[in-house]
Structure 1
Amino acid sequence: MKKIGRNFFSLLWTGVRRNYDNLDDNIAKHLGETAADSPVEIHLSKMFSDVFKRHTKDQADRLFIVGTKSTTPSLQKVSSRPVKPWFFSRVFLVLALSFVMLILLLFLFKSNKAIPGLIFIGSLAVPFSLLMMFFEINVYQNISVLQVLTTFLMGGILSLLVTMTFYMMLPIRSEISIESALIVGITEELAKCIVIIIFINLYKLNYIFNGVLIGAAIGAGFSVFESSGYVSEYGLVTIFTRSFQAIGTHTIWAAIIGGAIILGKKRKQPFTLNDFFTKPRFFIFFLITICLHTFWDWDIPHTGLSVSLLQELIDVIIGWFLIFVMIDAGLREVKTLQGQQIVIQRSKKRLVKKR
């Protein structure tokens, strides 16, 4: 039986590994303006291949000078190659090491002065690192670091203000039933969605990667300030759990919504209230994020820690799959706007790119 089980798992994994890159593309190709049978050159399995490569200081410096009139490339010069972010991993490494040193300061030297820094860095590490990843992925390079940080701070706080305004009008119970989890999911995702729309319209953004980045900035800000606030309610141990859970929560959900907003609006036109209710490509993704949030918060009765961890794992997998769909759709958009035919390359196939 064990041998049969191993063979079955091996067969299943082989099928998933061979078809995963195609699965997200099959979804993404129906979101853009290309023909339904147009392939796209993207290898998500290699997306993080540059993380472990050596990079120069000049390469890192170039990432931070984008978004100005003199450094924003023309559309024809925008890179349509598969995205391979790497700098975000260095940001995470610095923040993670800072977190560890603060832990040592607290527990070895009994210094309570380390607690505020521990709360801040612990809340910041994962969301901000994810934000930097989406900043690298924005191949249009039309959003500056200043705009990202402004959106991160102001957008994150504004989304919390909108959330608390909604909470004052809705019946939120202390226990996490499916009903309460659903109300929380609708409230917080709607609040973030409203703020993301405000910033996308304010910056007059029109590309999927732009929407994903602005959404990630607002979601990361929301995550950082919310996690910091939970410490006063549940104690310092909250940071040791929420800091790493952030890999699949607010930053990811808001990035999905940001991309969906671009998909739902007319190009070079602001997103309107009418778009909110009449554009299926937006509304489906918005409903999915509400479902992901609800599922994450739902405390299923008569279950233990293992079920809760399984819920979170499922949530993370689905959330990141949708992020990959957005990345795929974003690359398709670049190719479409540049007037190129999109070609997919497989290890066992060699296809010629046409213009």
Structure 2
Amino acid sequence: MALPSARPAAGARSRRVWLRMFLTGALLWGLAVVVTFVTGNPNLVPTVVLLGSFLVPVTFVAWAFGRRRSGEVTSELLFSTFVAGGVLGVLAASLLESYLLHPSAWLFAGVGLIEEAVKLAVLAVLTRHLRVKFATDGLVLGAAVGFGFAAFESAGYAFTALFTERGLSLMDLVQTELLRGVLAPVGHGLWTAILGGVLFSASDHRHFALTLRLLLSYLGVALLHALWDAMHGIALVLTLLLTGTPWQYVQLEQGYQPQPTALQADVFTLLSWGGLALVSVIGVGWLLAVRARARRGERPPTVLWRIPAR
């Protein structure tokens, strides 16, 4: 009589692996930060950077892994999509952005289009040999590629934040990792999960296909990405339009940066974080819609071009 009750308990424990991973990783990261502060040992900085950058992405990938549909989505495949997808995505995006983008009003739109295209292409290449392609698995594998991209990108931002005009700043590094860790679930992982679900649903369960829905989803996700990156500038412009004074406009025309008032600082903070929250809500709602459609099943899509499996 003990065996039937033991199985559900074991299943519940396996489903909570992601929580144990997060708590253990957070404790280790906190210890690494404290010891680095106390000792001032620069050799510990890579430990702080890696733990802080990978903790949230790895946790969410582990959580998503428990929600896969097919047994073909193995831990080895998930690991390869996370690491290879993240590294290849970061390298390809960096190359393309360096050669194709220049400072302009459309800079963030270009970043969104390039990075989402790169992640989608990497996902399609790494998973093209799956014998059966379920949309639910596309969500999981898309999230793995996106979170891998986010982890390596966050490590770069954290490392850069370490170097300041005052010298090495562990506090700036920690603040950067905390901020990016909080925002990670509604960034790259979310956007590529959406594209993964649409990509896998736009197939005949064996071959990927370019469909109108996939194209529109790619453009929509790239737009969310661009709005996310540009939110600081958008909030700044809206703050000046709503609360700007004549003397501030004069200073801007003369090439000076006007000192913001206390009210403007509050309005800017509200608009900036409110905009990020709005983009996040849209992204999460879109992901839930893709997930619901994947579970219901759908009619065969109108194929524009079939991508060969080999």
TM-score, normalised via structure 1 length = 0.65
Equivalent residue, structure 1, for 2:224: 292
- For the residues of structure 1 that align with 2:155 and 2:140, how far apart are their CA atoms? 22
Match of 1:209 in 2: 136
Runs (4 or more) in structure 1 with deviation over 6 Å come to: none
Alignment of 1:330 onto 2:294: yes
* Structure with the higher fraction of residues in helix conformation: 2
Please say if 1:310 is aligned against 2:274: yes
Partner of 2:186: 248
Q: Which runs of structure 2 are paired with 1:137-216 in the superposition (5 Å)? A: 137-173=67-103, 178-216=105-143
CA–CA separation in structure 1 for the residues paired with 2:204 and 2:33:
49
More off after superposition, 164-173 vs 148-157: 164-173
- Offset of residue 187 of structure 1: 0.9
Q: Which blocks of at least 5 consecutive residues in structure 1 are unaligned? A: 1-54, 64-84, 337-355
**Contact 1:247/1:316 (8 A) holds in 2:** no
Cα offset for 1:60? 6.7
Q: Partners of 1:284 and 1:261 in 2: how far apart?
A: 11
How many angstroms apart in 2 are the aligned matches of 1:308 and 1:114? 34
Q: CA deviation at 1:233?
A: 2.7
Q: CA deviation at 1:195?
A: 0.6
Say yes or no: does 1:133 pair with 2:40.
no
* AA aligned opposite 2:61: L
Cα distance, 1:319–1:254 mapped onto 2, change above 3 Å: same
The secondary structure found in structure 1 opposite 2:129 is: helix
1:321 pairs, out of 285, 298, 305, with: 285
Secondary structure of the residue aligned to 1:139 is coil
Match of 1:280 in 2: 212
Q: What is the one-letter code of the residue matched to 1:227?
A: S
| Structure 2 residue aligned with 1:345 | none
CA RMSD of superposed structures (Å): 2.3
Kept in 1: contact 2:201–2:294 (CA 8 A): no
- Aligned residue runs from structure 1 range 27-42, under 5 A: none
Q: How far did residue 255 of structure 1 move?
A: 0.7
1:124 Cα deviation after fit: 0.8
Matched to 1:222, the amino acid is: F
Partner-residue secondary structure (3-state), 2:205: coil
In structure 1, how many angstroms separate the alpha carbons of the residues matched to 2:275 and 2:18? Answer: 27
Within a 5 Å distance, the mapping from 1:3-42 to structure 2 comes to: none
**Percent of aligned pairs with the same residue?**
25
Provide the aligned length of Structure 1 versus Structure 2.
249
Q: CA deviation at 1:205?
A: 4.2
Normalization by structure 2: what TM-score? 0.73
Question: What residue number does 1:230 align with?
Answer: 157
Any idea what SS the aligned residue of 2:26 has? helix
Aligned to 2:261: none
Distance 1:262 1:117, change over 3 A: same
Residues 181 and 297, structure 1, Cα contact 8 Å, conserved in 2: yes
Secondary structure of the corresponding residue to residue 206 of structure 2: coil
Query: Which digits, 9 at most, give the CA deviation of each residue in 1:220-250, with x for residues without a partner?
Result: 1111111111223333142222122101101
Cα 1:149–1:284 change in 2 (3 A) is same
Paired residues for 1:39-188 under 5 Å = 56=9, 58-59=10-11, 86-173=16-103, 178-188=105-115
Shift in alpha-carbon separation, 1:205–1:293, aligned structure 2, 3 A = farther
The residue type paired with residue 312 of structure 1 is: L
* 1:86 Cα deviation after fit: 4.1
Q: Give the Cα separation in 1 of the matches to 2:131 and 2:124.
A: 10
